[in-house]
Structures are given as C-alpha cells and as structure tokens.
C-alpha cells in the first residue's frame, strides 16, 4: 500500500536501462470524504498513502534529469478487493453510486482511468494538480452537491431500507464479479471436474 514497491520497480527499470526519456509513472490513491477518514485516512492505510506521496516526490527528483515525471492520482471510490474490506467504505460506496448515477456522473474503473490518461497525462497539457501536487480525478465524487446528498442519506440507512436507499444491488454485483461470480454467459450450474488438468 505504501510507495516502497513503486520505488523498487522504478529502480529496477532504471538499472535495466529500459526507462525512456520523459517516462511518466503514476500511482493510484484515494482520500474520500471525512466519514471514511477515521478508519481510512487516519489509520494505517492513510500512513501508507502518505508514503506513496512521499515516494512520488523522490521519484520526481530521480526522473528530472531525463524529463520524466511521477504522479499520484487521487481516484474515485470504486468496488475493489481492498475497498470492500475496509469498514464503512462499502456502505459509503453504495450510497455514492446511487447519488452519482442519479446525477449521471458515475464512472467505473475504465471510464475513470480513461479520463486520467486522456485529460491529464497524455493530452499535451500539464495535468490539473492540487496544492499537494496530486492529480485529482475524484472531483466528481467530491463535488459538494454529491457529498451533501450522501451525507443526508448516511444517517437514514437501516438494515431494513439499505436496498431502497442505496445502490446496494450494483455494489453487490460488482463485488461478486471481482471473484468470478454473477458474470453473463457463465453457467454456474454446469458440472465441473475438480481434477481437471491433473494427471
């Protein structure tokens, strides 16, 4: 979760002589709203994210001579194996998806990263950076109107109304797909040979 692996990869590429002049490297991170901070930003995950940001600064110093850059991209909340394991985050994402889909601003993984590349990294212009030097593609999530609606829904959620007040169905579907379940075109009732491939 921290920047050590990123640094090691960049060191290995440089030592192998395969880093092109002007190479760009980017690490994905997340900040999110204050409701998630006690468990996320203020916890061990947050410390790891700060290490990623510190690593970006070191990498920028190392890449400067060849015209390269290292960025941290602050991304939108999405259903991932990591985010699904963090308390409160799945509930937050379920509420967020409902609000953003209603406002037609929701982006999945592909759309979000396309916007990162097409509008920030490879469009011939300088990326839009915040005061800490990070690219912010969480802007649609952190829009004040979106966050106000999520904040209003948060205290209303109960076990009984979860499916009505949030987009739990989409969250659940995306979560299952991470592990190969709920995919179109797969016959989950078909007989499977557990010894397949063994001699």
Structure-block tokens of residue 19: 């880093």
Residue 120 located in a structural domain: yes
pLDDT tens digits for range 154-188: 999 999 999 999 999 999 999 999 999 999 999 99
Residue 187 located in a structural domain: no
What is the CATH classification number for the domain harbouring 75? 3.40.50.720
Residue 136 located in a structural domain: yes
**Which residues, at least 6 apart from 108, have a Cβ–Cβ distance to it below 8 Å?**
78
Residue 93 located in a structural domain: yes
pLDDT tens digits for range 28-62: 999 999 988 888 888 888 899 999 999 999 999 99
- The three state secondary structure string of 24-52 is EEEEEECCCCHHHCCCCCCCHHHHHHHHH
Backbone angles phi, psi at 136, to 5 degrees: -115, 100
What is the rounded distance in angstroms from the CA atom of residue 169 to the CA atom of residue 154? Answer: 17
Which helix (H) or strand (E) is 65 found in, with range? none
Residue 125 confidence (pLDDT) above 90: no
**Confidence tier at 197 by pLDDT (50, 70, 90):** low
Active site residues: 40
What is the rounded distance in angstroms from the CA atom of residue 112 to the CA atom of residue 140? Answer: 10
What is the rounded distance in angstroms from the CA atom of residue 21 to the CA atom of residue 40? Answer: 36
pLDDT at 47: 92
Residue 152 located in a structural domain: yes
Range of 109's domain?
4-177
Residue 198 located in a structural domain: no
Identify whether the C-beta of residue 62 lies closer than 8 Å to the C-beta of residue 14. Answer: yes
Three-state SS for 59? helix
**Confidence tier at 148 by pLDDT (50, 70, 90):** very high
pLDDT at 193: 84
Instruction: Compute the radius of gyration of the chain from its Cα atoms.
Output: 20
Question: In the chain, what are the helix, strand and coil shares in percent, each to the nearest 5?
Answer: 50, 10, 45
Residue range 53-77: mean pLDDT, rounded: 97
pLDDT at 57: 98
What is the rounded distance in angstroms from the CA atom of residue 84 to the CA atom of residue 177? Answer: 13
Residue 183 located in a structural domain: no
Whole-angstrom distance between the N-terminal and C-terminal Cα of the chain? 39
Identify whether the C-beta of residue 50 lies closer than 8 Å to the C-beta of residue 29. Answer: no
Predicted TM-score (pTM) of this structure: 0.88
Residue 194 located in a structural domain: no
Please count the structural domains in the chain: 1
């Amino acid at each position: 979760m921290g920047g050590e692996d990123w640094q090691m990869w960049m060191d290995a590429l440089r030592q192998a002589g395969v880093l092109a002049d002007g190479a760009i490297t980017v690490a994905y991170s997340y900040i999110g709203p204050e409701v998630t901070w006690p468990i996320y930003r203020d916890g061990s995950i947050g410390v790891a994210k700060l290490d990623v940001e510190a690593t970006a600064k070191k990498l920028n110093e190392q890449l400067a001579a060849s015209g390269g850059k290292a960025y941290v991209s602050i991304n939108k909340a999405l259903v991932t194996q990591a985010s699904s394991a963090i308390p409160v985050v799945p509930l937050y994402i379920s509420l967020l998806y409902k609000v953003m889909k209603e406002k037609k601003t929701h982006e999945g993984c592909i759309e979000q990263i396309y916007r990162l590349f097409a509008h920030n990294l490879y469009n011939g212009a300088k990326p839009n950076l915040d005061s800490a030097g990070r690219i912010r593609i969480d802007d649609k999530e952190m829009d004040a109107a979106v966050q106000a609606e999520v904040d209003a829904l948060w205290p209303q959620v109960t076990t009984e109304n979860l499916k009505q007040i949030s987009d739990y169905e989409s969250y659940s579907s995306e979560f299952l797909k991470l592990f190969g379940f709920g995919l179109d075109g797969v016959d989950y009732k078909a007989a499977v040979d557990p010894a397949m491939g063994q001699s």
